[in-house]
């Protein structure tokens, strides 16, 4: 299975880079993991709703350009479904079983995802109602993917 995490912005914090690298290494024997970063749109700290929409749209176009047509896209969004770790494992297993071996998880920037990215997604996933920094979300997501793989293989880790 090929899993892609496409995200807006460059990871800067060393602890996040190291954490993601650790889980990517652990995932190596099981899946092909690709981490794709697209530049965030330069914008002032305070913006009108219209300016925020423009930023989301530009970042969304960059994200969409990185997704292969055959990818099954899962957008991380507050309005998405809540899955348990076992649910994520089941979703990945089902996709692999039915020939959808390229799964792309998409993480927007600080203003969220553009409507065109949400429309491209076959599924929307929420990690809860709390707002998390989009850079931290990458670490949480890659850990959960690793946990899902271990669950599907029946190997210890997920307890």
pLDDT for 62 equals: 97
Radius of gyration (Cα) for the chain, nearest Å?
15
* Residue 109 assigned ligand-binding role: no
pLDDT at position 43, please? 81
- Is 76 annotated as contributing to ligand binding? yes
**Distance in angstroms (rounded) separating the CA atoms of residues 134 and 76:** 10
Q: What is the mean pLDDT of residues 120-143?
A: 93
pLDDT at 134: 84
More confident residue, 47 or 115: 115
The model carries a pTM of: 0.94
Residue 131 marked in a binding site: yes
Q: Is residue 159 predicted with pLDDT exceeding 60?
A: no
Cα–Cα distance, 79 to 113 (Å, whole number): 11
60 is in an annotated binding site: no
Which domains are delineated in the chain? 2-153 (3.40.1280.10)
| pLDDT of 122 higher than 90 | yes
Furthest-apart CA atoms within the chain: distance in Å:
49
127 is in an annotated binding site: yes
Confidence of residue 158 (pLDDT cuts 50, 70, 90): low
In three-state form (DSSP H/G/I as H, E/B as E, the rest C), the secondary structure along 29-96 is CCCEEEEEEECCCCCCCCCCHHHHHHHHHHHHHHHHHCCCCCCEEEEEEEEEEECCHHHHHHHHHHHH
The pLDDT assigned to 81 comes to: 96
128 is in an annotated binding site: yes
Q: Say if residue 108 carries a ligand binding annotation.
A: yes
Place of tokens 């990871």: 11
The pLDDT mean for the chain works out to: 93
């Amino acid at each position: 299975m090929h899993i892609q995490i496409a995200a807006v912005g460059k990871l800067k914090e060393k602890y996040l880079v190291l954490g993601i690298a650790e889980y990517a290494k652990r995932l190596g024997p099981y899946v092909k993991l690709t981490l794709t970063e697209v530049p965030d749109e330069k914008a002032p700290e305070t913006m009108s709703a219209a300016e925020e929409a423009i930023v989301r749209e530009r970042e969304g176009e960059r994200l969409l350009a990185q997704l292969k047509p055959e990818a099954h896209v899962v957008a991380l969004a507050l309005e998405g479904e809540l899955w348990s770790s076992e649910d994520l494992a089941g979703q990945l297993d089902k996709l692999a079983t039915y020939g959808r071996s390229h799964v792309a998880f998409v993480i927007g920037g600080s203003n969220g995802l553009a409507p065109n990215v949400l429309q491209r997604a076959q599924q929307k996933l929420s990690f809860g109602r709390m707002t998390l920094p989009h850079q931290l979300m990458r670490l949480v997501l890659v850990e959960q993917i690793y946990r899902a793989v271990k669950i599907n293989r029946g190997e210890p880790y997920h307890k």
